[in-house]
Chains A and B, each alone.
Chain A
Amino acid sequence: MSHVYPQSIYGQPSYGVPVPGFSAQRATPASYQQHYFQPPPPPQPQQQAAPPQPLFHSDPNSFRRDFTSRLSNLTINSRVHIQDLSMMAQDHPHFSSIVAQSLDHHIRQVPPWMKLPGFYLLDAISKNVFEPYASVFSRIVTSLFMDAYFQVDSSTRNKMEEMLLTWRTAGPEHSPLFGPETQDRLQTSVWGDQSFATKNQVLSELQFTLGQMERALQANPRDRTPEGHIHVLNQLRRLVERGVSQPELRQILEQLRTLARSALPPPVVRPPPPTPRPVAAPYYNQHPPFPPQAHAPPPRPYSHPPPLSFNSIPQAVDVAPPQAPVPALLPSNLESLMASLVKSGVLSVPGTSTPTAQGTSTPEVAPPLALSEREDPSAVKDMNTREYRNFILSEPIALTTSDITRARPRIVELLYERQTSQCKQCGIRFADTKLGKKRLEDHLDMHFRQNSKVDQGRGHSRSWFTSLENWIHDASINEKGKGPAHSLSLTSTKVDNAKREEELRAQFVVIPPGAEAQSVSCPICKETLQSEFLEDEEEWVWRNAVKKDDKIYHATCHAEATTSTSSIAARLRTEKQQGSRSATPEVYPMTGIQSTTLRSTPPPSLLRKSGSRSPPQLISPGSKVAGVKRKVDHHDSDPLEDGTGTPPFKKLALSSTPIPSS
């Protein structure tokens, strides 16, 4: 891969096909043409290609309406739209908060593939108009950016990362566009703790700087400086890909940033825009509006990767800093870094094999999580866990009195905004993801079971506390369909249960002649047995029924009852042998049914082992379900049981069926 900016704006060819040569003809400092693709090339130069002049609004409501409706058309990466909206924002700085709100809302509610243009607009407004927008946006940009970042696909993520990098120097005096704190927070969220350098981040930045250099080279083919840098950068990239130590990553990153900063065109060099808008802030002139090109020297046309390939790179590492006018302030630090790396043996000159010696003390840099975990198809749960982990770890809060007093938490996102679906009954929240929805469903099922149980009698009483044995072995699979503890690995149990239930339900008892009109109820659940006419048998039957001792039971109820009694017996036996303290099972006077089911406890070693390096799904909430459930729970609480009208007791039977001993 040799160019940062792929042909397509989003990596979706349908939107990104540039008109050949279109932007190449423009020599304006604005570089929209490189990213804000505009299907029909406008007749005028880009930046001043006066987009439809918006009306001047004095009424906030009409402005909001107008802006929002135009914004809603921003479905693809259209430069016209972005410019139009950007101008509109520029003309109405006093409505900056409306712009921010509308944009925030727009980006949040559009589907992931449509979010990028919104960010490009945000980027363009901030860079072109800066005041007051950058400061207004800085309040929302962190959460907006990160929320979107976690939703979009990887190519869009790359785009966003590139954009983020341009923000670092897009403010006045090359300061971060949204302020150092926001920048830092965003970088931390994307690449992890900024006091460390991750391989991932270094690679992104390398790529970014490479792109800059390549454009510089194209802009001025006679300038040999960028060429030299490109060469070194490519070497560095391969080095980093192979793995270097943490201090070196850090060093490389610093050098890269210095390089990127110095590569910024000095303001004076910039030709002033032909028709400057009166309201334009100074940065408008200094910095080309579009993100990835923001630091690029006089722009080069889009989609022209420099004629550069790896095998054409000379073997030599030393590159003489050339004397070129643009960019004028080139550092030789990168070369010296390279030189020192080579010297220390970290970097072998291209051609030789793997690096050796001390520099490779951590050659196994963990692969970027974003890639490694996402590829695992069964990692839905882990995605959630991983994202959450990144989110949490990106909060710059150390456990010290000063930090917790000072930092401003993103707690609202954490507790509210990340979890948008809420149970109306008890207020518990769930993420608006597939898994979250599933959990909410399970949770509602639980309420349903609970509520349907309420009518079944009065006279509740306080239970005894659970015994020590039970308490220790309760591996918490209780209710609520929430939490990683019981998500995926319950599936197999569920399938078994479902199958079992299916079988039980298929059982029937032929109704004795003359009894059709009678209503017969199951002695266990007291519900009336449903009768139906069976075509095959040409008989009226009771479905889901079984006949024992001249009584008709629901097959499911009966199975449950037998399972639980046998489990009491089994449990008593076991415990007697073990001389356990908890020999007396807790008896519930109100029902007389022992609801505790016996499960053999899996050997601790098994569980401990699973805690080590095995894939997460083996740790197995499932094995806990199957293995350790000894809770003195009065009702079934398996969150993954489907709630289709089965009375709770039957469910209990099903959820507890796979008992090895019975």
Chain B
Amino acid sequence: MSTSTDTPISEPKRWDLEPESEYRFELDPGTSLAIKLVEGQAEVFGFELAEAKVYLFGSECKAAVYTWKGCAIQVTGVPSTEYVSNETPMRIYANLHIALEQMRVRALRQVRGSPVPSQEANARSDPPRVLVVGPEHSGKTTICKILTNYAVRAGQGWTPFLVNVDPGEGGWAAPGTVSVAPVKGPIPTASSANPLGTAATNAPMSLASNTLLPLAYWYGHPQTKRNPLLMDRMTRNLGENMNDRFELDPEGRASGLIVDTPSSYASGPSANDHRHKLINACIDAFKINVIVVVGHEKLNVEMQRSYGANLMVVKIPKSGGVVELDSSYRDRVTNYQLHAYFYGQVIKPPAGITNGSLGGESLTDLVLSPSSTVINFNDIIIYRIGSDAMAPSDALPVGARRTVSEMQPVVVDPASPGSRLLNAVLALLSPQASDESERYDEEVLDLTLVGFLIITNIDITTKKMTVLAPNRGSFTGRTAVVGSFEWQEQ
């Protein structure tokens, strides 16, 4: 329709969607899309759109506007792909949601000590604790989001806990983390930078219902196979803290939790048993009682066989709308995520759109101001976990032992030429125990993530480095851990 220019001017297009169909779109880098619900009811991955509001999508977002009862939407912008599909697995997802709701209401009934009707006497009253597994590009994260949003929208005050143990994903912060957040309001989908919603900022929107307060641990690598032992530990740490919280908040516990896993949990060389160990870690740590297998027959059989005796294992189909992504896309997303972490969401609306919002947040609120400061080398202690160049243990020569264990924190000296700290993403950890006697060697592994720092300049002569931090809070004397992520402002 328009010649290819930098800013194609596109007329708004109206799409009328039949009940139970969805409008799917994919965006190229640098483009954005504005969608307005004109009539009817519509939702984006379980997040209901308000009528007449303009929602913006960007950062290569690939999403779908689904309608249960039919709707009309107005779309401005030029997606690289757009079409309407009538074949969605949403009914099945909705059934799954209702089955989970049954578990929630029973759990809450038990917590409150409400009378149990006789026919329910034998019903289990565990809240749903769901592990979602599936191969790459099966839409696991989207399913987690839909299930979470539906729970939140039930109007029952559920606060489901959304857990992300996919360090390649980024969750609420940046990739490399293992994290959990209680979800109180529906999670919008607007950009690949915040697949699971936005972590709190001090902008006014941090009041908003969909602000998330995550608890995160820093694993530091995109691949789980890089250091399975560390993944295992992070996962268990997360689970322990959640249990502590649940003990204080029995009603919160009734909402249950949903765990999004990396695709490496679903497939891999059979000789490598780390994925089973990691799945087991999840099951133990989060007391999983339901495994949802997305669109993978063989995996379903395997899960049934391994866990079917003690847990409920259900299989659901994957959506036809799932887009296959390549590794360069992952890299770009990592970049978007880190940029969004420091600078907020900056999406240039399509030409002609002035009143857009991102998941209901006005654009101006999403611009953040990080702070860049120069600090001394010894103002923070930087660790790297395990040896520098770590091969998987099974790749070592027979009989060879590691000189540095996978779990050992090694101090990194910024002055040493091989520190590789320039442009590295540092995870700032919460303070160590103030009492010396409580400290232990691997304490660093058990400290939660407070935020990210980027070393943007190292001056060896003056022993100073420039650090980009999300805010002006002081971090002198704190501990940070470096992983394998790097980021440069572009």
Kindly state whether residue B272 has any CB partner on chain A within 8 Å: no
Binds B, one of A92-100, A148-156, A256-264, A393-401: A393-401
Nearest A residue (CB) for B68: A412
Q: Is the CB of B367 within 8 A of A475?
A: no
Residues of A within 8 Å of B460, CB to CB, are none
In the complex, which of the residues B118, B290, B470 contacts A196, with contact meaning CB atoms closer than 8 Å? Answer: B118
Does A488 reach chain B (CB closer than 8 Å)?
no
The interface stretch among A69-77, A101-109, A179-187, A584-592 is A584-592
Query: Given the complex, which residues of A lie within 8 Å of B430, measured CB to CB?
Result: 467-468, 581-582
- List the A residue with the shortest CB-CB distance to B96: A404
Query: A463 — which chain B residues lie within 8 A by C-beta?
Result: 199-202, 206, 470-471
A436 CA to B121 CA, complexed, in Å? 31
| 14 contacts across the A-B interface (CB closer than 8 A) | A193-B120, A366-B117, A409-B91, A414-B101, A416-B69, A424-B50, A429-B48, A446-B207, A461-B201, A461-B202, A482-B184, A611-B112, A611-B113, A612-B113
Is A471 part of the binding interface, using a Cβ–Cβ cutoff of 8 Å?
yes
Q: Is the CB of B448 within 8 A of A486?
A: no
Docked-complex contact A427 and B117, CB < 8 angstroms? no
Contact with B along A347-364 (1 / 0, CB 8 A): 000000000000000100
Q: In the complex, what's the smallest C-beta–C-beta distance from B311 to chain A, in angstroms? A: 10
Q: Does B353 make an interface contact (CB < 8 A)? A: no
In the complex, which residues of chain B have a beta carbon less than 8 angstroms from the beta carbon of A473?
245, 248
Smallest beta-carbon distance B413→chain A, Å: 25
In the complex, what distance in Å separates the CA atom of A152 from the CA atom of B125? 30
Q: Are A393 and B362 in contact (CB under 8 A)?
A: no
Task: Check B209 for interface membership: any CB of A closer than 8 A.
Answer: yes
Give chain B nearest CB distance to A169 CB in angstroms.
23
Asked whether any CB of chain B lies closer than 8 Å to the CB of A237, the reply is no
**Once bound together, how far apart are the Cα atoms of A369 and B119, in whole Å?**
12
- Nearest CB of A to B433, in Å: 6
Which residues from chain A contact B342 at a C-beta distance below 8 Å? 462
A483 touches B159 (CB 8 A): yes
**A residues in contact with B50, CB < 8 Å:** 422-427
Residue of B69, B205, B433 touching A450 (CB-CB under 8 A): B205
Interface residues of B (CB under 8 A from A): 41, 47-53, 68-69, 91-92, 94-106, 108-109, 111-121, 150, 153-159, 173, 182, 184-186, 199-209, 211, 213-216, 241, 244-245, 247-252, 290, 300, 312, 314-316, 341-342, 344, 360, 362, 364-365, 367-371, 428, 430-435, 438, 447-451, 470-474
Q: Which residues of A contact B428 (CB under 8 A)?
A: 464
* Residue A608 is within 8 A (CB to CB) of chain B in the complex: yes
Contact, CB under 8 Å: B114 / A616? yes
Option from B113, B117, B185 in Cβ contact (under 8 Å) with A369: B117
**In the complex the two chains form, what is the Cα distance from A411 to B365 in whole Å?**
33
Decide if B204 touches A428 in the complex (CB within 8 Å): no
Q: Does A637 contact B (CB under 8 A)?
A: yes
The minimal Cβ–Cβ distance linking A491 to chain B, given in whole angstroms, is 16
The reply to whether A397 and B95 form a contact with Cβ atoms under 8 Å apart is yes
If A411-B94, A465-B449 touch, whether A397 touches B112 (CB-CB below 8 Å) is no
The interface of chain A, by Cβ under 8 A from chain B, is: 192-193, 195-199, 246, 249, 362, 365-367, 369, 372-373, 382, 384-386, 388-389, 392-393, 395, 397-401, 403-405, 407-412, 414-416, 418-419, 422-431, 436, 443, 446, 449-451, 453-454, 458-468, 471-476, 478-480, 482-486, 576, 579-584, 586-591, 601, 604, 607-608, 610-616, 619, 621, 624, 628, 631-635, 637
A447 to chain B, nearest CB (A): 8
Residue pair B92, A404 in contact (C-beta under 8 Å) = yes
Which residues in B have their C-beta under 8 angstroms from that of A628? 248
- B431 neighbours in A (Cβ, 8 Å): 581-584
User: Which of B202, B245, B450, B451 gathers most chain A CB within 10 Å?
Assistant: B202
CB-defined contacts of A631 to chain B, threshold 8 Å: 213
Q: Which of A401, A428, A621 contacts B314 (CB 8 A)?
A: A401
Q: Is the CB of B119 within 8 A of A604?
A: no
Q: Contact between B207 and A450 (Cβ–Cβ < 8 Å)?
A: yes
A401: chain B residues within 8 A (beta carbon): 300, 314-316
Task: Tell which of A411, A608, A635 touches B206, judged by Cβ atoms closer than 8 Å.
Answer: A635
A587 vs B207: C-alpha distance in the bound complex, in angstroms? 17
Q: Which of A362, A451, A460 contacts B118 (CB 8 A)?
A: A362
Closest to A624 in B: B249
B184–A479 CB distance below 8 A: yes
Instruction: Establish whether residues B99 and A415, one from each chain, have CB atoms under 8 Å apart when the complex forms.
Output: no
| A468 proximity list for chain B (CB < 8 A) | 215, 241, 430, 448
Shortest beta-carbon contacts, A-B, top 6: A483-B157, A196-B119, A460-B203, A462-B470, A427-B50, A589-B472
A464 CA / B474 CA spacing, docked (Å) = 11
B184, A476: Cβ atoms closer than 8 Å = yes
Contacts of B102 in A (CB 8 A): 392-393, 395, 397, 399
Q: Which of A384, A586, A610 contacts B473 (CB 8 A)?
A: A586
Using A193-B119, A409-B98, A582-B430 as known contacts, say yes or no to A480 and B105 having CB atoms under 8 A apart: no
Contacts of B214 in A (CB 8 A): 465
Which residue of the partner chain, among A404, A451, A588, contacts B316 with CB atoms under 8 Å? A404
Q: In the bound complex, do residue B360 and residue A425 qualify as a contact, i.e. CB atoms below 8 Å apart?
A: yes
The reply to whether B471 and A589 form a contact with Cβ atoms under 8 Å apart is yes
Q: Do B51 and A424 touch (CB < 8 A)?
A: yes
| Contact B204 A465, beta carbon cutoff 8 Å | no
- A471 and B247 in contact, given A411-B68, A450-B204, A464-B451 (Cβ under 8 angstroms): no
Chain A: which residue is nearest B316 at the CB level? A404
Excluding A454-B362, A483-B155, 11 further A-B contacts by CB distance (< 8 Å) are A246-B118, A382-B114, A404-B314, A411-B97, A426-B208, A461-B470, A461-B472, A479-B184, A579-B433, A613-B113, A619-B250
Q: How distant is A435 from chain B, measured CB to nearest CB, in Å?
A: 10
* Contact (Cβ within 8 A) B119 A449: no
List residues of chain B with CB within 8 A of the CB of A614.
Answer: 113
CB < 8 Å neighbour of B112 from A415, A483, A619, A632: A619
**Chain A residue with minimal CB distance to B201?**
A462
Contact, CB under 8 Å: A482 / B157: yes
Q: How far is the CB of A416 from chain B (nearest CB, A)?
A: 6
Residues of A within 8 A of B207 (CB): 446, 449-450, 453, 479, 633-635, 637
Complex interface: chain A residues within 8 A of B114 (CB)? 373, 382, 385-386, 616
**A319 to B324 CA separation, bound complex (whole angstroms):** 74
Task: Determine the chain B residues whose CB is within 8 A of the CB of A472 once the complex forms.
Answer: 241, 244-245, 248
Q: How far is the CB of B239 from chain A (nearest CB, A)?
A: 13
Contacts of B208 in A (CB 8 A): 426, 446, 450, 479
List, in ascending order, chain B residues with CB within 8 A of A589's CB: 371, 471-473
In whole angstroms, what is the CA distance A484 to B252 when docked? Answer: 11
- How many Å lie between the Cα of A400 and that of B92 in the bound state? 11
B187, chain A: closest CB distance, angstroms: 12
Report whether A633 and B101 are in contact in the complex, using a CB–CB cutoff of 8 Å.
Answer: no
Most chain B beta-carbon neighbours within 10 Å: one of A385, A401, A414, A424: A401
- Inter-subunit contact A446/B209 (CB<8 Å): yes
Query: Considering the chains assembled together, what is the distance between the CA atoms of A583 and B201 in angstroms?
Result: 21
| Given A405-B95, A472-B244; A466-B312 close (CB under 8 Å) | no
- Choose one: A384, A395, A408, A464; the contact of B471 (CB below 8 Å): A464
**Which residues does chain A contribute within 8 Å of B245, judged by CB atoms?**
471-474
Complex contact B98–A397 (CB within 8 A): yes
* B105/A393 in contact, CB under 8 A: yes
Q: Please state if A385 and B156 are interface contacts (CB–CB under 8 Å).
A: yes
Contacting pair A428 B209 (CB below 8 A): yes
- Across-interface contacts of B300 in A (CB, < 8 A): 401
Closest CB in chain A relative to B39 CB, distance in Å: 14
A156 CA to B213 CA, complexed, in Å: 47
A588 B202 Cβ-Cβ under 8 A: yes
Q: How far is the CA of A560 from the CA of B68 in the complex (A)?
A: 47
Residue of B109, B120, B207, B369 contacting most chain A CB atoms (<10 Å)? B207
Q: A450-B204, A466-B215, A586-B473 are in contact. Are A426 and B360 (CB under 8 A)?
A: yes
In whole Å, how far is B310's beta carbon from the nearest beta carbon of chain A? Answer: 14
Which residue in chain B gives the minimum CB-CB distance to A449? B207
B110, chain A: closest CB distance, angstroms = 8
Closest-CB distance, B268 to chain A (whole angstroms)? 24
